[in-house]
Amino acid sequence: MKDYFRLRLNLRPVNDSGLPFRLCYKMVRGIEHELPTMTLHFGDGASYHIRQSGLFVNFTREHRFCLAVMPGGRVSVLGAKQQFNTWMRFDTVHNLLAFAAHDCLRDIA
């Protein structure tokens, strides 16, 4: 991720942000159109796509944006931000997880 921002956008991490995330950058006009996405590939061939809105947190007052992914030790956890607008089905009988992009706000009406 650091290489993407350095090579493509000529941005360097901001170390003095005082924010709870490890990888933050100074907010630049129009950056929201340049933010990357991320795809997680699982052993069974499934791929989980995370949009920009699930990868980054904006701190408007501090003029910073940060990668909303943090090291978690031995177990990987997808947080609510990464799962937003994703339909998930847990098959506990066959020990399977299915997922697909879904506009969850449509379900409220």
Q: Residue-wise pLDDT tens for the chain (109 aa)?
A: 899 999 999 999 998 767 888 899 999 898 888 999 999 998 878 889 999 999 999 999 999 999 998 777 787 788 888 888 898 888 899 888 888 888 888 877 6
Q: Could you give the CA distance from residue 6 to residue 11 in angstroms, rounded to a whole number? A: 5
- Take residue 6 and report the two structure tokens written for it: 């350095």
Q: Is the pTM of this model over 0.75?
A: yes
| Domain regions of the chain by residue span | 2-107
Residues 2-107, CATH architecture? Beta Barrel (2.40)
Q: Could you give the CA distance from residue 35 to residue 82 in angstroms, rounded to a whole number? A: 15
- Take residue 34 and report the two structure tokens written for it: 């340049």
Specify the pLDDT at position 12.
93
Q: Give the residues across from 26 on adjacent strands.
A: 64
Q: The tokens 């809105």 sit on which residue? A: 53
Q: Could you give the CA distance from residue 51 to residue 83 in angstroms, rounded to a whole number? A: 10
